[in-house]
């Protein structure tokens, strides 16, 4: 069959058009990025500079980078700003806050169903503290970071007093006080073994006292049979807070053998930095700050002391997690973004960047030869928290309870009864 010159030219043009169409279609499909997530907005109390650097690191490994607008909020402003934004219809797609700030917002966040992440998978993946996110409705948040309370101790002060090692149990502070607490002839405290007993000048007093409560087995709050969160501060329960109150408060009682602190003294962290108090109970994240504030301070880190017998190993841990906002039009995309942000390969790098423990068991299982990280990892495994209404309000409540007892205004049983009543009223209030 002979083809004319005109037909040949027409055929070539037709073939070229088909090829060009295929190429254009392929390029169009490639540009569409069907798997690319839309921009996501996250609000949280986590530092923005660290979070944004973390996202940049992750995006360096992705073909379709995450587009996340992260807004850092001060913890004291978060609740009010979050609620106001939701009322205006300008709220975020997800939030990143501590577990003890989540309770007032449970009606505003979307639980992740157990079909998406099973309860067994969650329990096997994260530390025990993370179980606070489990409910009958699903998972309230995906853990991101955990910052456990630990003990910093001054090596020079211990060595000078002939004390070879740090205290592992609370009852050891009686012997330590005899060797480390120094008073002048007027009874004025010049150096202290430990700073406890007052909420006004003891840094992290709320978290220290809560750790004592949790070590006696008291969860501080829990849901009743109706699912209502209530205080567990009952003086006549087997997990009575009486031992915790008595132990914490004895250090400010001038008539007690363990007297080592009072309200007129400097803030406990400043005192530790100045070398006038031998031990300091602070967060793992404070390590860098302590080094920077006093580079010449010869200190070490240990796990928070525990009850010698009959107790539960525990230390307070500030656990942060991602929760999905119910009103967001991008809940599905936000969940995909959060899943990427909490992937183990990235979470391991995050722990290294923060120089901190991870809430993931698989990351913790890899261990660390670092002298401090090994302590932080051990502490993360026994970390606990509780559902609170507002940390600043519970701190005031606990502080008032201690002051009421130490002032002698009420018996310890009446003090606990009144505190429980006030706490239950606080827990029922919504923002």
Task: State pLDDT tens for residues 240-281.
Answer: 999 999 999 999 999 999 999 999 999 999 999 999 999 999
Q: Residue 245: name the closest of 415, 385, 392 by CA.
A: 415
- Model confidence at 16, in pLDDT bands (50, 70, 90)? very low
Which token pair is 289? 């700050």
| 378 shares a domain with 408 | no
| 312 shares a domain with 271 | yes
Domain membership of residue 209 (yes or no) is yes
Q: Kindly report the CATH number assigned to the domain that includes residue 414.
A: 3.40.190.10
| 271 shares a domain with 173 | yes
Domain membership of residue 301 (yes or no) is yes
For 200-256, write each residue's pLDDT tens digit.
999 999 999 999 999 999 999 999 888 899 999 999 888 999 999 999 999 999 999
| 167 shares a domain with 51 | no
| 185 shares a domain with 300 | yes
For 62-117, write each residue's pLDDT tens digit.
999 999 999 999 999 999 999 999 999 999 999 999 999 999 999 999 999 999 99
| 417 shares a domain with 405 | yes
HEC profile for the chain? CCCCHHHHHHHHHHHHHHHHHHHHHHHHHHHHCCCCCCCEEEEECCCHHHHHHHHHHHHCCCCCCCCEEEEECCHHHHHHHHHHHHHHCCCCCEEEEEHHHCHHHCCCEECECCCCCCHHHHHHHECHHHHHHEECCEECCEEEEEEEEEEEEEHHHHHHCCCCCCCCEHHHHHHHHHHHCEECCCCCEEEECCCCCCCCCCCCHHHHHHHHHHHCCCCCEEECCCCCEEECCCCCCCCCCHHHHHHHHHHHCCCCCCCCCCCCCCCHHHHHHHCCECEEEEEHHHHHHHHHHCCCCCEEEEECCECCCCCCCCEEEEEEEEEEECCCCCHHHHHHHHHHHCCHHHHHHHHHHHCCCCCEHHHHCCCCCCCCHHHHHHHHHCEECCCCCCHHHHHHHHHHHHHHHHCCCCCHHHHHHHHHHHHHHHHHCCC
Give this prediction's pTM. 0.90
What is the model's pLDDT at position 97? 97
What mean pLDDT is predicted for residues 413-420? 96
| 283 shares a domain with 198 | yes
Residue with tokens 């990143």: 96
| 271 shares a domain with 197 | yes
Domain membership of residue 21 (yes or no) is no
Q: Domain containing 87: what range? A: 40-147+318-384
Domain membership of residue 270 (yes or no) is yes
| 283 shares a domain with 192 | yes
Domain membership of residue 23 (yes or no) is no
For 350-398, write each residue's pLDDT tens digit.
999 999 999 999 999 998 889 999 999 999 999 999 999 999 999 999 9
């Amino acid at each position: 069959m002979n083809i004319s010159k005109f037909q040949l030219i027409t055929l070539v043009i037709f073939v070229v058009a088909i090829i060009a169409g295929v190429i254009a279609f392929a390029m169009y499909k490639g540009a569409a990025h069907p798997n690319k997530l839309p921009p996501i907005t996250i609000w949280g109390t986590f530092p923005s500079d660290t979070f944004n650097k973390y996202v940049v690191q992750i995006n360096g490994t992705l073909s379709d980078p995450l587009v996340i607008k992260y807004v850092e909020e001060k913890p004291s402003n978060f609740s009010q700003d979050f609620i106001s934004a939701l009322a205006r219809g300008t709220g975020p797609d997800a939030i990143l806050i501590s577990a003890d700030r989540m309770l007032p917002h449970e009606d505003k966040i979307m639980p992740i169903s157990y079909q998406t992440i099973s309860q067994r998978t969650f329990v096997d993946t994260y530390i025990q503290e993370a179980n606070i996110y489990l409910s009958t409705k699903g998972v309230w948040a995906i853990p991101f970071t955990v910052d456990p309370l630990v003990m910093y101790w001054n090596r020079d002060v211990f060595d000078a007093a002939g004390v070879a090692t740090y205290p592992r149990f609370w009852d050891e502070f009686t012997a330590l006080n005899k060797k480390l607490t120094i008073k002048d002839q007027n009874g004025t405290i010049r150096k202290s073994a430990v700073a406890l007993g007052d909420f006004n000048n003891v840094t992290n007093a709320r978290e220290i006292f809560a750790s004592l409560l949790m070590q006696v087995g008291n969860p501080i709050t829990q849901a009743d049979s109706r699912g209502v969160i209530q205080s567990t501060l009952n003086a006549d329960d087997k997990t009575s807070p009486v031992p915790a109150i008595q132990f914490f408060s004895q250090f400010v009682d001038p008539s007690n053998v363990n007297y080592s602190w009072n309200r007129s003294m400097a803030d406990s962290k400043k005192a530790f930095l100045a070398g006038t108090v031998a031990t300091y109970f602070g967060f793992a994240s404070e390590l860098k700050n302590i080094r920077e504030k006093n580079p010449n301070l010869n200190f070490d880190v240990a796990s928070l002391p525990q009850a010698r017998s009959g107790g539960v190993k525990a230390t307070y841990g500030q656990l942060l997690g991602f929760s999905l906002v119910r009103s967001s039009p991008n809940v599905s995309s936000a969940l995909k973004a959060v899943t990427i942000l909490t992937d183990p390969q990235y979470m391991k790098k995050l722990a290294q960047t923060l120089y901190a423990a991870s809430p993931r068991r698989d990351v913790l299982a890899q261990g660390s030869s670092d002298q401090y990280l090994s302590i932080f990892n051990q502490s993360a495994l026994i970390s606990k928290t509780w559902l609170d209404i507002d940390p600043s309000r519970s701190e005031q409540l606990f502080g008032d309870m201690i002051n009421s007892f130490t002032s002698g205004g009420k018996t310890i049983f009446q003090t606990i009864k009144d505190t429980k009543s006030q706490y239950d009223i606080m827990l029922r209030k919504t923002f």
